[in-house]
Chains A and B, each alone.
Chain A
């Protein structure tokens, strides 16, 4: 059995190596597929903080993914049309700058997570799942009826947004920036899990009552985790919209929330590299089997079933079980 740290570095190195090889072979499509892996991994890494660390089974994380996507779409839409965004007395100029869009996506998603968390964290178990799902559906149907930004048809952005000093139209450079963001988020997640906050959150997941008796509020711990989780998933949504240069209500759909959960479970709930492994398996199946049959998700279901039945720690748990060579 290998140590988890080596596995983490190995998976990231493999991802980077594949992208560089694809660049050498001039395979832009492969780089785009790998970029999708990275962005979905980022979104799942966000969910992993809520689910893995906090034990919060959220079926509404597509809300944050969609908000991130629409933050990008709306800002870029107004920038490309040279028309400012008017929010009552506020007039905001559009933007094609990735850092500005990312910060907006993070802020909007974090704010939404705060409001949703405040309401949904009063419940637990199946009620929490249902409330987060309900929020997801609310945003989904709202986006469908939001004609100003494409409604059901979504919103196309003609040119990829820019990052200072880089050419984002070059697939490998866009991959590089997404990969760097993923590495930073994974590093942050690792530090977070080992911090007093992360440890308290872990404890609150295990025995909430005991956490209260040492002077900590499980509700506050979980709320903060939910907000951080939502912000990261929102950032992933902005990058995903940039990758496709398109946003649509699908980004808010409950199926997407379910897919994010599948990625985390496939890779390993609460395992640092789990979301990356899960996203890689998901996209690989989509690419390899999707060409053969339209029903490729049946095979995904079979794999998920096997993982849940026989490998609770996901693929990462199979390769580097906790307690055996675990850092």
Chain B
């Protein structure tokens, strides 16, 4: 059963159109990779899903038309976002960052600390003083504290050391295996995405040009459409 349904989605930044026709479906418990070269509309699609920019076309989450909802109401409906660039609340401690986002559900502070033990160890530390990797873990933990039905990770491993990237990927794999929540992933690492995603959707110039099971994304297709 699909939880997110996007059909013919369009969006613009002022007079500059960024999305022309995005089609994307995410089913319950499924991990979908949203792929494409830089500037093809991946982050804009995420912003449209999270109601951070105006858009038109089909955009439904859990049966509701997202166009009718504000950004905070979309989040309350069950869309958890780990934004590009982390963006933690720098003046707040790790614990406080998590408290701000907390909503009722299976994910609480203890479970987040179980997924990322570093966060448990640094719960009293200011977010601004964390390393980039720890801030990324905090951004994921904060999104999980909202107890989302769909978790969106936008470039969650970008700019991190290989060892930290591996830690993040391991955590995402655990999320897939243990939580059963739907996940929409955006990342540049085809190898990691291939290992974890059930399906892939490829964007070119704001348009969906390929969608299918991850196993069907052959090197030939990925080379042609994504450049890797």
Q: Which of the candidate stretches B59-67, B85-93, B199-207, B218-226 sits at the interface with the other chain? A: B85-93
> Is the contact region of chain A dominated by helix, strand, or loop, or is it mixed?
helix
Q: Which of A199, A206, A211 contacts B99 (CB 8 A)?
A: A199
Contact yes or no, A209 B52, CB < 8 A: yes
Q: Does B156 contact A (CB under 8 A)?
A: no
Residue of B nearest to A203 (CB): B89
- Closest Cβ–Cβ distance, residue B80 to chain A (whole Å): 8
Chain A positions within 8 Å of B92 at CB level: 199, 202-203, 206
Q: A202-B92, A203-B89 are in contact. Are A213 and B83 (CB under 8 A)?
A: yes
Flag whether A200 is at the interface (Cβ < 8 A).
Answer: yes
Chain A residues in the interface with B (C-beta under 8 A) = 196, 199-200, 202-203, 206-207, 209-217, 323
**How far, in whole Å, are A119 and B186 apart by their CA atoms in the complex?**
39
Smallest beta-carbon distance B214→chain A, Å = 27
Known: A199-B100, A202-B89, A206-B91. A213 touches B76 (CB 8 A): no
By a beta-carbon cutoff of 8 Å, the part of chain B in contact with chain A is 50, 52, 70-73, 75-76, 80-81, 83, 87, 89-92, 96-97, 99-103, 126, 142-143, 145-146
Known: A216-B72, A323-B126. 4 other contacts (CB 8 A): A206-B92, A215-B73, A215-B75, A215-B103
Residue of A nearest to B52 (CB): A209
Contact A210 B102 (CB under 8 A): no
**Other-chain residue from A202, A214, A217, A323 in contact with B101 (beta carbon distance below 8 A):** A214
Residues of B within 8 A of A207 (CB): 87, 89
Nearest opposing residue in chain B for A207, CB measure: B87
Does the CB pair A202–B91 fall under 8 Å? yes
Q: Is the CB of A217 within 8 A of B70?
A: yes
CA distance A215 to B146 in the complex (A): 8
Chain A nearest CB, measured from B167 CB (Å): 23
Instruction: Tell me which residues across on chain B come within 8 A of A202, comparing CB atoms.
Output: 89, 91-92, 96
B70 & A206 in contact (Cβ 8 Å cutoff): no
Contacting residue for B87 out of A196, A210, A215, CB 8 A: A210
Point out the residue from A196, A209, A217, A323 that lies within 8 Å of B100, measured CB to CB. Answer: A196
Query: Are A216 and B100 also in contact (CB < 8 A) when A209-B52, A210-B83 are?
Result: yes
A214 touching B87, Cβ below 8 Å: no
